[in-house]
Amino acid sequence: NAGVMQNPRHLVRRRGQEARLRCSPMKGHSHVYWYRQLPEEGLKFMVYLQKENIIDESGMPKERFSAEFPKEGPSILRIQQVVRGDSAAYFCASSPEGQGTGAYFGPGTRLTVT
Amino acid sequence: AQSVSQHNHHVILSEAASLELGCNYSYGGTVNLFWYVQYPGQHLQLLLKYFSGDPLVKGIKGFEAEFIKSKFSFNLRKPSVQWSDTAEYFCAVNTDKLIFGTGTRLQVFP
């Protein structure tokens, strides 16, 4: 049973470009979380999704950021018109159900904006 | 809104020393509590979890944590650390979503 997969592992974008980060949850998991990790700031919750449904996006910046988890295929975190401040590690985690469970993490995508 | 506080940002210990990392949460209802570990260059792994029952929870690699409801705490402990325990440790709370503390960086010197 493969773990949570994220790709790419490293992504370099110039300011103003778009970044697309992909997350394939563990088999049988229907819930996905996205977190951002900045040095000295720990893990910041961004968004929590179920297939075809955003459950909680209270941690997402209001502009330029969006996330989806379609019925088929991976979850996508999309950052439009990236800025230097978007440089961070983005982690995806999946769980088999929503509440009351832990989550399994992917290896992360390190985004660098030049 | 739920939140998690980890007061120790950076802990430095010698091998064989005892470890206790603090974790406090703010939420009045039923919570599920977790400790995750992130070794250098790796992704987060679950160390231990508390859902219900015995408030003293034992995890992998000799770690344990105690849930004290009256103090809203879930401190992580290990009686004798090893150099290989050098990592970042995150406490997390799950009510309607999984929220993490800012992490504690542990450095263990031989």
Q: What is the pLDDT of residues A25-51, one digit of tens each?
A: 998 888 999 999 987 778 899 999 998
- Find chain B residues with C-beta within 8 A of A43's C-beta: 44, 90, 100, 103
The answer to whether residues A93 and A102 touch, using CB atoms and an 8 Å cutoff, is: no
Nearest to A99 among B49, B96, B103 (CB): B96
Assess whether pLDDT exceeds 60 at residue B81. yes
Give the largest CA-CA distance in chain B: 42
Chain A residues 73-102 with CB within 8 Å of chain B: 91, 93, 95, 98-102
Smallest CA–CA distance, residue B73 to chain A, in Å, is: 17
| pLDDT confidence of residue B3 | 87
Q: Which residues of B touch A (CB under 8 A)?
A: 6, 9, 32, 34, 36, 42-46, 49, 51, 90, 92, 94-103
Give the mean pLDDT of chain B: 92
- Nearest one of A43, A42, A46 to A56, comparing CA atoms: A46
Q: How many CB atoms lie within 10 A of CB A26?
A: 17
Residue A35 host element (H or E): strand A31-38
Residue A21 burial class via C-beta count within 10 angstroms: exposed 0-12, middle 13-18, buried 19 and up: buried
Nearest to A41 among B94, B97, B102 (CB): B102
Compute the C-alpha angle A89/A67/A112, nearest 5°.
Answer: 25
DSSP code of residue A33: E
Compute the C-alpha angle A25/A28/A32, nearest 5°.
Answer: 35
Cβ-proximal residues to A10 (8 Å cutoff; 6+ apart), any chain: A109, A110, A112
pLDDT average, residue stretch A47-69:
93
Q: Is B43's CB within 8 Å of A91's CB?
A: yes
Read off the amino acid at residue B37.
V
Smallest CA–CA distance, residue B32 to chain A, in Å, is: 6
Residue of B nearest to A108 (CA): B43
Report the share of chain B in percent with pLDDT over 70: 99
Any idea which of B51-55, B70-74, B82-86, B93-97 has the lowest mean pLDDT?
A: B93-97
Instruction: For A72-111, write each residue's pLDDT tens digit.
Output: 999 999 999 999 999 999 999 998 875 556 788 999 999 9
Cα–Cα distance between A93 and B40 in angstroms, integer? 18
A50 Cβ under 8 Å from any chain B Cβ: no
Residue B90 host element (H or E): strand B87-94
The answer to whether residues A113 and A18 touch, using CB atoms and an 8 Å cutoff, is: no
- Nearest one of B15, B41, B70, B28 to A37, comparing CA atoms: B41
